[in-house]
Each structure stands twice: as structure tokens, then as C-alpha cells.
């Protein structure tokens, strides 16, 4: 765990650092936002703690502009509630009051370390997958993890890293499908100041960040063939050339790559280099779709119900028999990711002592659903009859109806939608200005139910 502290933390830097170091973290400190950004460009971090007395929104905007993905926790004196609110609205994930509490900091470090990385299973198909992962984790072999979207390929990659000889070094992930082609090379290999428009300072790439540890190349099959050739050279030579530099930098990383494609077909069609495929595919682990591991559906649903009850500070509720039947009869085209989102909605919408079938809102019209309840967004057809609608109209329907189901709770809706609260608020302001009805807190189709 690499922790970066930005600011003075009201004179509590020493105490916070010692707490983090005792929990196994390596700590760096910067007095200003500019210094903090420079450290992130040069060394990266797993977590940033920033003083709320600084311009947190400026810091978050800079992270977004430079595509630096790192969780941020704000820290400040406990009575500075307005600063705490501003920091969270700017994008900070948590707020820690000062002086620092050892248990609270330990909990945050543990949450960041373990976030989304727990393997929950009892189905034999998943047991076989985990058995193979255990067998090859200690090796240095490159691993290709394949399977449908939403099955947990990144979770398995983390599991393998934590079982490997590199577990005390960094795990760095880059989503090859989410980064524009013209930026991915810089993201992977780094760049020198002035190498291209927007290169405001030298920045190391993901290979250098992961030196000594594990690099996850998520959805590698979406990488442009030209860049695949450069990646192959890095894997062969074990060195990277930053853009704008002619001085190679040696790197020592273990590669785990993932794809939701059938890689042999991608090779045959010329979308993926055969030599790179063989370099990566020393060991192939295929993750089954959720429908192929039915014994895990209820187990995972119960796990997510507990997780999101705690996250949203609402009472834990058991799954009712009708809810379990509805979950088991659905085919889960979105796999574990869809199940997680479904249970997040359910814990927010359940109005009785247990989670019943009415709270299980499925996002696809599935013929195996026997509950008789609508699985679309709502009765106005948004999400159930998309043909003829523009992308903007579909997005607006999804956002407004999610907010409606969350009884106007902006935080819950943003979490379910997977967007920041700032983005949600900007969208809602736009829709309100355009004359659309926006649910207020406490309003919604289930209000009073």
C-alpha cells in the first residue's frame, strides 16, 4: 500500500503517517497540491489523504484531466463540516476527522486494499477456477483470464497477485478499453514533459508504477494492433521507452491480462497479434458466466446485501423466499456485476423486514422471470423500448428513473449509476432547465410504499 498525504493535516502528519506505517503502508508527503500531483506522476499511489483546507476540487479536477485514477480521502478537523461536504462533493470517497483515529485509518486502508477484491463462491465450477489460480499464483508466468463481462476477471487477478511472491509490491491495473487509443501508449509507458500537447510534466507509466509487482492489462483485446507491437517489445526486452525519451527504463513486472473475447478468433481475424497472444497465454483461466455457477447466486446476493446495507447505513435485511426464486430464475446476462447492482438497488428499495421480490428490479426482460413484476426502469417505457431513442434520451431516462427508484436520494442514485455525485447533479440541473420533472429527496414512485 502506497499512501500519499497532501497537506499538513492540521499538524497531524506524523501521527497519521505512523498509524499508516504500522498497518504496512509506505507513506509519502507533499505540502501542496502541485507537489502532490508531481509525486503521483513520478511514483503513483494506492490512496491519497488530502487536507480539506486545500482546494480539493482543484486537485480532483487535475486528477481527472491527467487521467490519474486513485482513491482520495479528505481529512480535517471534526467541526469543519462545510469543508467535509465540499470535499465529498468534489469526489473524495471518505472523510476522516482529525486528530486521526488509529482504528478509523486502519479501516480505510483495509477497505481500499480489499475493495471489490473478495472471492465469494461455493459452486464447484468456481472452486475449480480458484484451485488453478492457487496452483499458478506463485509462479512468474503470464496469465490470460478470459470470460464474459462482469464475471470478476479483475477480482481474480487481485486474488492471484495476493497469493504470489509479489504480494508486498504494487498491483497496478489499466483498462485498455476505457482509454482512448492515442492516450493509452502514454498511460502504459509514460512520457516526458512536452512530449505532446497536454504533457505538462514528466509522468511515469503503469509499467514503471508496477515495477516489482503485478500489472493488469484489462480487456487487452481492445488494444490497437500498432500498440500491441510496442507492448510485445516491452515484454521481450523488459524495458520501456517513455514517449519523448530515448533512454530505456528497465522494468520487472508480472503480467495478467483479461479479455471477454474469444482470443483465438481475434487472432484469426487479425485483431490481435499471434506472437503477443502466445506471450501472454502461458496460462489461461476461464471464468464461467454467473448462470454457469448457480450455487453462487444466492450466496453472492446475500454478500452484496450486507455490503450495501453497511455502505448506506441501513438495516441488514434477509432475502425472502420469493426474492431468492426470482434471483435464481433469471439468466444474469450482466453476470456478477449485474447481480451486485441489483442487490444495491434492492437494499435501498426494500420496505419490509426482508428483501422481497418487488425490490428485485432486473434490468432485462427475461422470459424466465416468474415474479410477474416489471423488470424495466418504469412504466413510461424508458429502458424497455429503446428503439428510436437517441443516446441522450436513453441516458436521461436511466438517470431520472434511477433517481426515482432511490426516492430522490442523489448519493444512492450516483452510486448505482457508477458516476460521481458532481456529474449527477450537473445532469439533473440540465434536465431541470430543459423542463423535465426531477424527483426531490423523499419523492419517487415507491415513496410511501
- Which domain CATH number covers 101? 3.40.50.2300
CA–CA separation, 275 and 104 (whole Å): 48
Q: CA angle, corner 348, sides to 346 and 354, nearest 5?
A: 60
**Per-residue pLDDT tens for 80-105?**
778 888 888 888 888 888 887 787 77
Q: What's the CA dihedral at 259, 260, 265, 268 to 10 degrees? A: -30
Residue 425 has what pLDDT? 80
pLDDT at 29 over 50: yes
Note whether 60 and 185 are same-domain residues: no
Residue 313 has what pLDDT? 78
CA–CA separation, 257 and 144 (whole Å): 5
- Name residues whose C-beta falls within 8 Å of residue 341's C-beta, 6 or more positions apart in sequence: 334, 363, 416
Task: Flag whether 246 is in a domain.
Answer: yes
Q: What pTM was computed for the model?
A: 0.68
Residue 446 has what pLDDT? 46
pLDDT at 386 over 80: no
CA–CA separation, 10 and 12 (whole Å): 6
Judge whether 383 and 401 are in contact, CB under 8 Å: yes
**Per-residue pLDDT tens for 39-85?**
888 888 888 999 988 999 999 988 888 878 788 988 887 667 788 88
Single out the residue of 29, 81, 92 nearest to residue 57, CA to CA. 92
- The residue among 80, 95, 114 that closes a domain is 114
CA–CA separation, 124 and 206 (whole Å): 35
Range with the lowest mean pLDDT among 244-248, 386-390, 435-439? 386-390
pLDDT top residue among 44 and 283:
283
Judge whether 217 and 171 are in contact, CB under 8 Å: no
Query: What is the domain count for the chain?
Result: 3
**Range with top average pLDDT, 2-16, 249-263, 356-370:** 249-263
**Per-residue pLDDT tens for 70-80?**
889 888 876 67
Note whether 365 and 246 are same-domain residues: no
Q: What is the SS3 assignment for 408?
A: coil
Note whether 151 and 217 are same-domain residues: yes
**pLDDT-based confidence at residue 447 (cuts at 50, 70, 90):** very low
CA 268 to chain centre: 32
Note whether 335 and 347 are same-domain residues: yes
Mean pLDDT throughout 241-265? 93
Judge whether 133 and 163 are in contact, CB under 8 Å: yes
Single out the residue of 362, 383, 391, 382 nearest to residue 374, CA to CA. 362
pLDDT top residue among 78 and 405:
405
CA–CA separation, 338 and 342 (whole Å): 6
Residue 367 has what pLDDT? 33
Task: Flag whether 438 is in a domain.
Answer: no
Mean pLDDT throughout 243-267? 93
- The residue among 260, 288, 316 that closes a domain is 288
Note whether 374 and 429 are same-domain residues: yes
Mean pLDDT throughout 130-154? 94
Task: Flag whether 235 is in a domain.
Answer: yes
- Could you write out the DSSP letters of every residue in 50-69? EETTS-HHHHHHHHHHTT--
Residue 383 has what pLDDT? 44
CA–CA separation, 305 and 316 (whole Å): 7
Note whether 139 and 258 are same-domain residues: yes
**pLDDT-based confidence at residue 390 (cuts at 50, 70, 90):** confident
91-to-71, 255, 261, 271 alpha-carbon distances in Å: 9, 31, 33, 37
Q: Show the cell assigned to 124.
A: 464447484
- The residue among 288, 315, 337 that closes a domain is 288
Judge whether 362 and 356 are in contact, CB under 8 Å: no
Residue 149 has what pLDDT? 87
Q: What is the CATH number of the domain that holds 158?
A: 3.40.50.300
Residue 389 has what pLDDT? 67
Mean pLDDT throughout 13-23? 80
Task: Flag whether 446 is in a domain.
Answer: no
Q: What is the CATH number of the domain that holds 389?
A: 1.10.8.60
CA–CA separation, 66 and 198 (whole Å): 8
Range of the domain at 48: 2-114
Mean pLDDT throughout 328-350? 90
CA–CA separation, 3 and 10 (whole Å): 18
**Per-residue pLDDT tens for 116-133?**
567 889 999 999 999 999
CA–CA separation, 290 and 129 (whole Å): 13
The mean predicted confidence, pLDDT, of the chain is 84
pLDDT at 373 over 60: no
Residue 114 has what pLDDT? 57
Residue 231 has what pLDDT? 96
Note whether 145 and 173 are same-domain residues: yes
Amino acid at each position: 500500500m502506497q499512501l500519499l498525504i497532501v497537506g499538513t493535516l492540521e499538524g497531524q502528519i506524523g501521527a497519521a503517517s505512523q498509524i499508516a506505517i504500522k498497518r504496512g503502508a509506505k507513506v509519502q508527503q507533499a505540502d501542496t497540491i502541485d507537489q502532490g500531483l508531481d509525486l503521483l506522476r513520478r511514483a503513483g499511489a494506492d490512496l491519497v489523504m488530502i487536507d480539506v483546507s486545500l482546494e480539493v476540487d482543484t486537485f480532483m479536477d487535475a486528477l481527472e484531466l491527467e487521467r490519474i485514477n486513485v482513491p482520495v480521502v479528505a481529512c480535517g478537523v471534526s467541526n469543519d463540516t462545510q469543508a467535509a461536504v465540499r470535499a465529498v462533493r468534489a469526489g473524495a470517497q471518505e472523510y476522516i476527522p482529525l486528530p486521526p483515529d488509529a482504528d478509523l485509518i486502519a479501516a480505510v486502508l483495509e477497505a481500499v486494499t480489499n475493495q471489490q477484491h473478495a472471492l465469494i463462491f461455493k459452486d464447484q465450477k468456481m472452486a475449480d477456477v480458484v484451485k488453478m489460480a492457487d496452483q499458478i499464483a506463485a509462479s512468474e508466468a503470464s496469465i490470460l483470464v478470459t470470460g464474459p463481462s462482469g464475471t470478476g476477471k479483475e477480482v481474480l487477478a487481485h486474488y492471484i497477485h495476493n497469493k504470489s511472491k509479489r504480494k508486498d509490491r504494487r498491483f497496478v491495473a489499466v483498462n485498455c478499453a476505457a482509454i482512448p487509443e492515442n492516450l493509452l501508449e502514454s498511460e502504459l509507458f509514460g512520457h516526458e514533459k512536452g512530449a505532446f500537447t497536454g504533457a505538462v510534466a514528466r509522468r511515469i507509466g503503469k509499467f514503471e508504477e508496477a515495477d516489482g509487482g503485478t500489472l493488469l492489462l484489462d480487456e487487452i483485446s481492445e488494444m490497437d494492433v500498432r500498440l500491441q507491437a510496442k507492448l510485445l517489445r516491452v515484454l521481450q526486452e523488459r524495458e520501456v521507452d517513455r514517449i519523448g525519451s530515448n533512454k530505456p527504463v528497465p522494468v520487472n513486472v508480472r503480467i495478467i491480462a483479461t479479455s471477454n473475447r474469444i482470443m483465438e478468433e481475434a487472432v484469426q481475424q487479425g485483431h490481435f497479434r499471434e506472437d503477443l497472444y502466445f506471450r501472454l497465454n502461458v496460462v489461461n483461466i476461464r471464468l464461467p458466466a454467473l448462470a454457469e455457477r448457480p450455487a453462487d447466486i444466492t450466496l453472492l446476493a446475500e454478500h452484496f446485501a450486507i455490503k450495501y446495507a453497511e455502505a448506506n447505513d441501513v438495516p441488514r435485511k434477509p432475502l425472502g423466499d420469493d426474492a431468492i426464486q426470482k434471483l435464481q430464475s433469471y439468466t444474469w446476462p450482466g453476470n456478477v456485476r449485474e447481480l451486485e447492482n441489483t442487490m444495491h438497488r434492492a437494499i435501498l428499495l426494500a420496505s419490509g423486514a426482508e428483501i422481497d421480490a418487488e425490490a428485485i428490479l432486473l434490468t432485462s426482460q427475461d422470459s424466465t422471470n416468474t415474479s410477474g413484476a416489471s423488470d424495466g426502469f418504469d412504466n413510461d417505457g424508458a429502458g424497455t423500448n429503446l428503439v428510436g431513442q437517441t443516446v441522450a434520451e436513453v441516458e436521461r431516462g436511466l438517470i431520472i428513473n434511477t433517481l426515482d427508484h432511490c426516492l430522490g436520494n442523489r448519493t444512492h442514485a450516483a452510486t448505482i449509476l457508477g458516476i460521481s455525485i458532481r456529474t449527477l447533479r450537473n445532469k439533473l440541473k440540465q434536465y431541470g432547465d430543459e423542463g423535465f420533472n426531477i424527483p426531490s429527496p423523499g419523492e419517487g414512485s415507491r415513496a410511501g410504499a
